[in-house]
Amino acid sequence: MSAAMSSNHQKTGMNLSVFALEIILLIIIGFLSFFARGFATWDNFLNILRNASTTGIIAFGMTFVIIAGEIDLSVGSAIAFHGCLLAVVTEKLIGRGYPMLPVILLAIAVCFTIAILTGMFTGWVRHRFSVPTFITTLAWMAALRGGGYLLTNSFPTTPFPEWFNFFGSGYVFGIPFQAIIFLLLFGITWFISRFTTFGRAVYAIGGNAESARLSGINVLQKRMIIMALTSAFSVISAIVVASQIQAGNPTVGTSWEFTVISACVIGGVSLMGGKGRIWGTFVGVMFLEIILNGMTLLNIDEYWQYVARAVLILGAVMIYQGQETRQKD
């Protein structure tokens, strides 16, 4: 009887440890609801969701990248570059007398095409020459940021019509449109990771790429798709940001790659590859944004917010490392 009770206690403890981040987040929400004036309101919740969307959209793509054992440091610069490219293409074609809507749609198509090609190239270089994606995307980070400055001559470009602002600041049934995109992409990527052969292949490649290849998985193809997926998500975020500020600005997205990676790590995605959940990334994105929102409402200095983020990342890694150790034991 005592052995059975002990087994049940161990199972309960393991189940609780799996949801450690969610439990901590609920405690923080409860604390902020009592002590941060204006936190526990519907408007503030929508504000949190809206602010989390721009980095959260990319974080879902980054989750696949990290699970596959790779990394992408170029996403922040990609947001700036594609926002500038969108603005410059729009400005040039409007100047030639073309109608606004087809021009913007064409500019968006150009951005997606370039993003997908750069992502596929990164995956190809990783597979063909065994160059770590850390190196390739570090190069892209510099090139794309520089490209944004070259396209705009270092000044924001503002060719967009008023209706374009809807994508970054509009509402549908009282919910921010960008938050709807964020939640929709969460649902799609969660389904892909859980119920598709592609999702299973990503985990297999991250666990052991050679074993995945021997089992019949086209590792080159999957790596190219994974890297292209994150690049495409960066374009979506770039459209949202460009819509918010009604401009292509080469300075936006600075250090966003670290925020995105932080959200993934806090959500339990292993930087060693092979482990992670889209749900965990979603919680990690919300965790970061709720903490920042709460500290702002509590009038905590911005510099302390950076310190808090560092502590959170370290704490999250320690929690999940502890989980893995207990599971092995």
pLDDT tens-digit readout, 55-87 = 999 999 999 999 999 999 999 999 999 999 999
pLDDT given for residue 21 in this prediction = 82
pTM above 0.75, yes or no: yes
Domain spans in the chain, listed from the N-terminal domain onward? 23-28+37-318
pLDDT-derived band at 91 (thresholds 50, 70, 90) equals very high
Q: Indicate if the pLDDT at residue 284 is higher than 60.
A: yes
Q: Indicate if the pLDDT at residue 15 is higher than 80.
A: no
pLDDT-derived band at 207 (thresholds 50, 70, 90) equals very high
Q: Indicate if the pLDDT at residue 3 is higher than 80.
A: no
Give me the mean pLDDT over the 304-329 stretch. 73
User: How much of the chain exceeds pLDDT 70, in percent?
Assistant: 91
Task: Provide the token pair at 196.
Answer: 């598709």
pLDDT-derived band at 7 (thresholds 50, 70, 90) equals very low
Give me the mean pLDDT over the 234-254 stretch. 97
Q: Indicate if the pLDDT at residue 293 is higher than 80.
A: yes
Q: Indicate if the pLDDT at residue 155 is higher than 80.
A: yes
Give me the mean pLDDT over the 128-137 stretch. 96
Mean pLDDT of the chain: 91
φ and ψ at 269, to 5 degrees? -75, 125
Q: Could you tell me which residues come within 8 angstroms of residue 176 by beta carbon, excluding any fewer than 6 positions away?
A: 46, 49, 50, 53, 169, 170
Q: Indicate if the pLDDT at residue 249 is higher than 70.
A: yes
pLDDT-derived band at 329 (thresholds 50, 70, 90) equals low
Q: Indicate if the pLDDT at residue 218 is higher than 80.
A: yes
Give me the mean pLDDT over the 217-221 stretch. 97
CATH classification code of 23-28+37-318: 1.10.3470
Of 8-12, 199-203, 206-210, 280-284, minimum mean pLDDT range: 8-12
